[in-house]
Amino acid sequence: MPDFYQHDLVTTIHDLQTGRLDRLEVMLRDASLQNRIGLVLPVTAADMRAEPFDRIVSELVDADYVDTIVVTLGVAPDQADLDETLQKVSALGSRVRVLWTDGPEVQSMYDELIESGIAVNTPGKGRSVWTAFGCLLADPEIDTFVLHDCDIVDYDRLLLARLCLPMTHPALDFEFCKAYYARATDRMHGRVVRLLVTPLLRAMMQIFPDSEFIRFLACFRYPLSGEFSLTRNLARSNRIPCDWGLEVGTLAEVYRNTSLKRVCQADLCRLYEHKHQALSIEDRNSGLMRMAIDILTTVYRTLASQGVVMSGSTFITLRSSYLRVAQNCIRQYGADALVNDLHFDRHQEESAIDAFAGCITEAAELFRADPNGKEAIPNWTRVRAAFPGFTNRLRDASNTAG
């Protein structure tokens, strides 16, 4: 999205359509001699068998600046799932490792942690990412940890290069880089960001004007993107949520553990396309409704941990303010869609914000009943203090394609 606009707290690295892949990769190869890169690819068995994963593997063959690639394979109960994954990634050679999180060896390691009081009993993307970070931490020479999803339909290496370079180039000093992008086909996607998170944060800035954390979240142009890179230190010290609050929870940990001037966001590409979740208005336990409630409770609990007091009247005011701001957003999106010749169903947009407004109060009830909520996975500093050789054991438990 070519512009020069900078937010006040977070540096924005724009895509001005001038950065050629060959030049970026030359810089990355030079930088990676001193700053080695580990790439994490969390994948389910279903996504592993889908076409985007094959495209991603094909593109990564030439990403020789990546030192180690860790594929965490989940929702994969059968040995055949592992065997097929190893065959698919074999083109990446000895630098790829597959961690089968449903396999007996890794499950036994999870059980060991659970018995000691370390909460890793909730499967999902959060635990897969945390496990991969542990595997990479076993190599003391890997400095930058990078994550991206494996269902990206239009993936190419420019996305990876733009995510890695802000973290590795010696002229820069960032500790965390968050991706952003436009999600559109013949219509606008990204409904949770457009219709919930963006207007919610604007409403919250009115209700909590002194909250720097809310200002920090509002600086991100796509706070729910699944792609980010970070330093080894943050990978070791950040806790990781295990539900749909993963992305917002990660930003909360970054806010807590590093200086804001060392945080940036990078525009990865003009458009970005991956699979879409169902809205599920009638079922609050699935689809975007479940995602919305997890995100909201994560935000509420983070604010509470910072000493912000929220009463029942606070949430009533928040819902009313959110509805007003969201309705203004729909008017803005409608104008944007018209000029860009995109399909825009205003009724569906209005229905979605009404459903999200219900999530605001439902999440508030969950928060007030259980202010702590699900425990985030403890950081690797704690785990390694209790089990000094655990990351090495994780690395040994990974499977190589060679």
Give the number of other Cβ atoms within 10 Å of residue 261's Cβ: 12
2 belongs to a structural domain? no
pLDDT of residue 361: 95
- HSE-CB of 134 using CA atoms within 13 angstroms: 35
How confident is the model over 244-263, as pLDDT tens digits? 778 999 999 999 999 999 99
Beta bridge partners of 229: 146, 177
| Owner of token pair 């055949």 | 80
18 belongs to a structural domain? yes
pLDDT of residue 270: 63
- Give the pLDDT mean for 350-377: 92
**CA–CA separation, 193 vs 235, rounded Å?**
25
Instruction: Find the CATH number of the domain harbouring 73.
Output: 3.90.550.10
**CA–CA separation, 294 vs 164, rounded Å?**
29
- Give the pLDDT mean for 231-256: 92
197 belongs to a structural domain? yes
Beta bridge partners of 231: 144
pLDDT band for position 204 (cuts 50, 70, 90):
very high
Give the number of other Cβ atoms within 10 Å of residue 391's Cβ: 20
**CA–CA separation, 153 vs 88, rounded Å?**
17
4 to each of 10, 163, 384, how far by Cα in Å? 13, 18, 43
Torsion of the alpha carbons at 258, 8, 228 and 302, rounded to the nearest 10:
60
3-class SS of residue 42: strand
175 belongs to a structural domain? yes
The answer to whether residues 362 and 293 touch, using CB atoms and an 8 Å cutoff, is yes
How confident is the model over 154-185, as pLDDT tens digits? 899 999 999 999 999 999 999 999 999 888 88
Torsion of the alpha carbons at 316, 290, 271 and 220, rounded to the nearest 10:
50
- Give the pLDDT mean for 200-219: 97
3-class SS of residue 55: helix
243 to each of 221, 249, 310, 393, how far by Cα in Å? 22, 9, 23, 26
Q: With pLDDT > 90 as the criterion, what percentage of the chain qualifies?
A: 82
**CA–CA separation, 217 vs 223, rounded Å?**
7
Scored b (16 or more CB within 10 A) or e, 74-98 reads: bbbeeeebbebbbebbeebeebbbb
pLDDT of residue 282: 65
For residue 197, pLDDT over 90 is answered with yes
- Give the pLDDT mean for 339-352: 95
Closest by Cα among 396, 399, 401 to 138: 396
Rg (CA), the chain: 21
For residue 19, pLDDT over 90 is answered with no
Angle (CA) 363 368 371, round 5°? 95
For residue 1, pLDDT over 60 is answered with no
The answer to whether residues 124 and 110 touch, using CB atoms and an 8 Å cutoff, is no
pLDDT of residue 280: 64
Do the bridges between strand 176-180 and strand 96-100 make them parallel or antiparallel, or are there none, so unpaired?
Answer: unpaired
Reading phi first (left if > 0) and then psi (alpha if -120 to 50, else beta), residue 109 is in: alpha
pLDDT of residue 276: 58
Counting the structural domains of the chain, the total is: 1
Residues 6+ apart with CB under 8 A from 398: 70, 97, 98, 99, 135
274 belongs to a structural domain? yes
pLDDT band for position 269 (cuts 50, 70, 90):
confident
Helix (H) / strand (E) element for 347: namely helix 346-369
5 belongs to a structural domain? no
How confident is the model over 43-55, as pLDDT tens digits? 999 999 999 999 9
402 belongs to a structural domain? no
210 belongs to a structural domain? yes
Angle between helices 157-168 and 21-31 (to 10 degrees): 40
pLDDT of residue 272: 63
pLDDT of residue 177: 98
| Owner of token pair 């889908």 | 50
Residue 231 lies in domain: 11-395
Beta bridge partners of 187: 343
Closest by Cα among 155, 159, 140, 99 to 123: 99
For residue 243, pLDDT over 90 is answered with no
For residue 60, pLDDT over 70 is answered with yes
Structure tokens at 227: 């792609």
Structure tokens at 230: 């970070």
Amino acid letter, residue 120: V
